[in-house]
Amino acid sequence: MPGHKRVLLAAPRGYCAGVDRAVVAVEKALERYGAPVYVRKQIVHNIHVVTELEAQGAIFVEEVDEVPSGAHVVFSAHGVSPAVVNAASDRGLQAIDATCPLVTKVHREAVRFARDDYQILLIGHDGHEEVEGTAGEAPDHVTIVNSPEEADRVEVADPNKVVWLSQTTLSVDETMETVRRLRTRFPQLQDPPSDDICYATQNRQVAIKKVAKGADLVIVVGSANSSNSVRLVEVALEHGAKSAYRVDYADEVRQEWLEGVETVGVTSGASVPEVLVQEVLNDLAGAGYRDVEQVRTAEEDLMFSLPKELRQDAAGRRDERALGGRGRA
């Protein structure tokens, strides 16, 4: 219907199982030990989540040397290198490890391939916390490959003993292009035993591809340092969206983005609470986009148990939230 304003709302979107678990871990630690509870780095890459947890008494630090000795410290969902674990233990900190189990899986792969003396080409963004953590498992064996272009330049010691692994929150298509170029140069390149790009990253990209096809504008809710959120903007643009922007909050949506726009696609990254999406939808409704159609490409019901340090209550009973993430996408 020409001139008909509508919203295509991607599903799955928003919180994944690993983010939910990490956020609940901080809340649970605050409840159990009282404020303050220290958190190394942002627990997940979302400014709203961090601000809310700060209001509840969490203190976010860059490194464990900022944490008073003996205090509780939560490691973020993106994981930490063994050097950080050791530094925390040397300071006598009580660590709660909220690393997503799907990141831990990649750490284990890195350890295993390093033990077998492989050179590990770790596809990911240099400087991202997850990449620092994974690379830190086997610093002598890991070479970071930032982009498809870097795949054309990277040097390996023995082309018969190379494997690629990746960050969990990359663009699937771009990563496959990087691997293709690596394999052209190193035909013996081994694949990871299973997908490193996680289910949540993949599902959100599949959903936004479908939405983008029919969208004049795509709005992605997510923070600037959230790799998976930023990838959703890129994927939308590559799959037919005429324009695509990322916002942290609804009030960042600019009037001029909506000029001449009939169909707005909306999604959110894996670290984004649904309330922020609903605020965008409210504002869009105010601008005449009241017709909202959900475009669902997958069901998600994965949940992870809480970090082991939080699984039992003070009396040693298993906590009923131990099995807990909340909600589906």
Show binding-site residues: 16, 45, 78, 100, 128, 168, 198, 226-228, 271
Instruction: Give whole-number Cα distances, 270 to 144, 198, 230, 232, 260, in Å.
Output: 24, 11, 11, 10, 30
> Which of 192, 191, 237, 189 shows the shortest CA–CA distance to 211?
237
Q: Using the rule CB under 6 A, which residue among 19, 26, 121, 233 binds ligand SF4?
A: 19
Q: Residue 79 carries which DSSP code?
A: -
Cβ atoms of residues 35 and 57 within 8 Å: yes
Residue 169 found at the interface with ligand SF4 (CB under 6 A):
yes
Binding residues with ligand SF4: total (CB under 6 A): 15
Rounded to the nearest whole angstrom, what is the least distance from the CB of residue 198 to ligand SF4 in the complex?
3
Distance in angstroms (rounded) separating the CA atoms of residues 19 and 25? 10
Rounded to the nearest whole angstrom, what is the least distance from the CB of residue 68 to ligand 0CN in the complex?
26
**Residue 17 binding: pick among ligand SF4, ligand 0CN, none (C-beta 5-8 Å cut-off by kind):** ligand SF4
Site map (CB under 6 A) of ligand SF4, residues 242-281, x = contact: ----------------------------x-----------
Cβ atoms of residues 250 and 280 within 8 Å: yes
Residue 228 found at the interface with ligand 0CN (CB under 6 A):
yes
Q: Return the number of the residue (25 or 284) whose C-beta is nearest ligand SF4.
A: 25
Residue 45 found at the interface with ligand 0CN (CB under 6 A):
yes
**Residue 227 binding: pick among ligand 0CN, ligand SF4, none (C-beta 5-8 Å cut-off by kind):** ligand 0CN
Rounded to the nearest whole angstrom, what is the least distance from the CB of residue 173 to ligand 0CN in the complex?
16
CA angle 173, 131, 159 (to 5 degrees): 70
Distance in angstroms (rounded) separating the CA atoms of residues 68 and 144? 33
Q: Residue 191 carries which DSSP code?
A: P
51, two tokens: 């601000």
Residue 25 found at the interface with ligand SF4 (CB under 6 A):
no
Distance in angstroms (rounded) separating the CA atoms of residues 40 and 128? 14
Q: Return the number of the residue (178 or 227) whose C-beta is nearest ligand SF4.
A: 227
Q: Which of 109, 130, 132, 137 is catalytic?
A: 130
Catalytic status, residue 320 = no
Q: Residue 235 carries which DSSP code?
A: H
231, two tokens: 């990838």
For residue 216, what are the contacts with CB-CB under 8 A and spacing of at least 6? 241, 242, 243, 260, 261, 262, 263, 264
Which residues contribute to the site for ligand SF4 (CB under 6 A)? 16-19, 77, 100, 102-103, 168-169, 198, 200-201, 228, 270
Which residues are catalytic, by number? 130
Which residues contribute to the site for ligand 0CN (CB under 6 A)? 18-19, 44-45, 77-78, 100, 103, 130, 168-169, 226-229, 269-271
